[in-house]
Structure 1
Amino acid sequence: MELRTLRYFVAVAEELHFGRAAARLYMSQPPLSRAIRQLEADLGTALFRRSASGISLTPAGAALLKEARALLAQAEQARTRVAAAAGSASLTVGILSDSTDPAVSRLAAAYRREHPSVEIHIRETDLTDPTCGLRAGLVDVALTRGPFDATGLRVRELRSDAVGAVLRADDPLAGRDELALADLADRRWFQFPPGTDVAWQSYWNGGRPRTGPVVRAVQECLQAVLWNGTIGLSPLGHHDPGDGLVTVPVRDLPPSPVVVAWTETTALIRSFVQTAQATYRTNAPSAPRRPGAPVRP
């Protein structure tokens, strides 16, 4: 039984859908189906119940899922220990600057517990590069937000956050419980420099062209709101905009996805992605501040 086949099986068992599992594994569905059938033949038992309504695990499949997860975890630990012994266990992680998401701290603690000998290098990037240097080859893995052009990248969504408009506390709209994009149609919005990822710029402009001051960092965006009354956007619940500013939910803006992205899959990157998925899955985001409430220091 090969580890690769066990990874295939775990993906199908967790997704309970061959198409989604194939997409997760970055492969087409036919070879995945053949691999699972060959595994069932080798074991002499069915691992899945197949019907017109979908698939489900048999008792044998449930037993194998538990064992397969343990074996794959042990294999990852072995690869990491070997890399550490060879003096090559290091990982460069790109993150967006000025991130105050508490999940990042939990991820750091969890990864350090699981891989104490791996040296982590952090590269902060400003808002002009949502891949945090990944596409330029400056980092091994990026902990960032979407949407952005993911061509050539592997991306996993970890969480999605509702988004609000950042306004001056004395703005006529600041007392609202929520806003619609139409309420902000005639306002100036912050812009990113020319050459910034098109999908990224479009999302933070509410899906349409806008005009306004060019910013590169979160603090520049907040200062543009404070000094010029520009419209800013921010995920709810994770960033305190500061004194004199409020964040009001925007009901018709899609949530902002928190994602982990990478290009080449190595043992260290795979373990980082798995730890990130487990950390974000088991820790709910902090509750958002009451809509429209002024922020106090």
Structure 2
Amino acid sequence: MVPPQGYRWWYVDALSDDGSYGLTIIGFIGSVFSPYYKKSGRDLPLDHSCLNIALYGKNGARWVMTERGAADTSQARDELQIGPSAMRWDKERLIIDIEERDIRLGIPWRRRVKGQITLTPEVLNAHSFKLDAEGKHNWHTIAPRARIEVKMDRPDVSWSGSAYLDGNHGSEPIEDGFRDWHWCRAHAGHDVGVIYEGNRRDGSHFASALRFDRHGTPHEEELPLVAPLPPTLWAMKRQTRADRGHASVIKTWEDSPFYARSALSMRLFGKQVTAVQESISLDRLINPVVQFMLPYKMPRE
């Protein structure tokens, strides 16, 4: 169970084998970005749940992040039901059933988003990591490497590719623990590299470079050099780490006042890779202007 003031999320990202499509899916209980959860006092995390779906591609781009209350949310050991959508384990596969409506700024009508996504882990990792000394924020890479099958009816898009699955949980608001962070993952040959670094609210810095081997075992590696990236249109600072300190942006997937997600080309652990990268500013998130804007991007049902 998620405690009052706390949160839990499960995160999937994927790239199609041909490089034409990408996606991220995040199931939230106690949505860390929700202005409604913040205003409520954060006493009932289950009452602020959502399935965030972002589909990327020339003909398949969609954005979904509709928050739902406790009456429309249920959690079991192997299933999370949020409204008409669900994430559930079926033996060794994670199946995500989607029945939502998309969100487009300035357009009042919302298109249907419907389909099923199946993620099959290739390797699993049993180790989780504390992101702060007191263990108030924790991160677990569940399946560093996986295969994914995407079968969408609305939009009419089907593809397969490589994927990644992790989860985070905490016992206090995320902005109480952190000022910002940069995160990046990439499949590098038989291994998976994950770079995670940022600044905690107490002023301390954290940084790690993990390599998950073909058995899913994490190994701490020497941190590569900082690879600066150009700021986004919202002037979001973003960076990663890479061999020789160089990375280039293939495509900026998300550009918001406090968050950016990108696909990168770079070398990591001696391999040329395509990486998924995110940068977030929690200082920007709690800015009153941003809090005023958020309901337009993440309505509450």
TM-score normalised by L of structure 2: 0.24
TM-score normalised by L of structure 1: 0.24
Whose RCO is larger (CA < 8 A, sep 6+)?
1
Between structures 1 and 2, the one with greater helix share: 1
Between structures 1 and 2, the one with greater strand share: 2
Q: In terms of Rg, which structure is larger?
A: 1
